[in-house]
Amino acid sequence: MNIFRFAGDSSHLIAIVILIVKIWKTRSCAGLSGKSQLLFAFVFTSRYLDLFNFISSYNTIMKKSRYISDRILNYSGSSTCFSHQPSVFIHGGWLCFFAISENEYPGTTPVTITRVLGFVLIEISWSFSIYLEAVAIMPQLFMLSRTGSAETITAHYLFALGTYRALYILNWVYRYYTEEFFDPIATVAGVVQTVLYADFFYLYITRVCVAASLYNLFATVVYLVIRGHKNLELPA
């Protein structure tokens, strides 16, 4: 475990906490894509089939924290919150799963997948989750492009989520140079996911951060003007 992985995992948990707090405080899911949240539920359900397999204390804690927080998020935004309309993204995700599985494990089909034993099933599910996570945010980004705006807290959530993947790329670079470890599946999917966030990062920095800075500057100027006006003494 290195600082980039720890920072990435922390950023991911922060993103989920931001979303949970937003839903609980506002009692609304306005501006959030239920399709993206459902895809993320598929991602972490399939990724953590080995939830109770012990690798390290850190790994176990992070897996359970992600899984539990994701379940809380989906419970918080269930039924009345998210739309349940059929989505091409959801059906497309499962098609990608079987296509990728067939490519990596020849002879694996929807029928025989139920017959494979533990390790192979976990590996297939992990690969599926990595590929699906790369595109799971697309419905949310499409929603933003249609509306042309987003609540500030939603923007913070997306920024934290994008930062999580960007930090994981640095984690893979670090591991490649220190451990000679290279995972093509995770690396390619991570780069694709970060590229999808690139446009949002630009908008976040130029609109949210700059707007907040200008607001703080304006508020400071107004405060100083009012304070100076109160302290002003007219000549007798």
Render pLDDT for 13-52 as a digit per residue (tens, 0 to 9): 898 888 888 888 877 777 788 888 888 888 888 887 776 6
pTM: 0.68
Tell me the per-residue pLDDT of 141-158, one tens digit each, with 9 for 90 and over: 888 877 766 677 778 888
CA-closest candidate to residue 81, choices 38, 143, 27:
27
* In contact, 184 and 38? CB cutoff 8 Å: no
Q: What single-letter DSSP state applies at residue 183? A: -
Angle of the 34-47 helix axis to the 138-147 helix axis, nearest 10: 170
* In contact, 96 and 185? CB cutoff 8 Å: no
Residue type present at position 174: Y
Q: Looking at residue 156, what is its pLDDT?
A: 83
Q: Looking at residue 182, what is its pLDDT?
A: 87
Residue type present at position 13: L
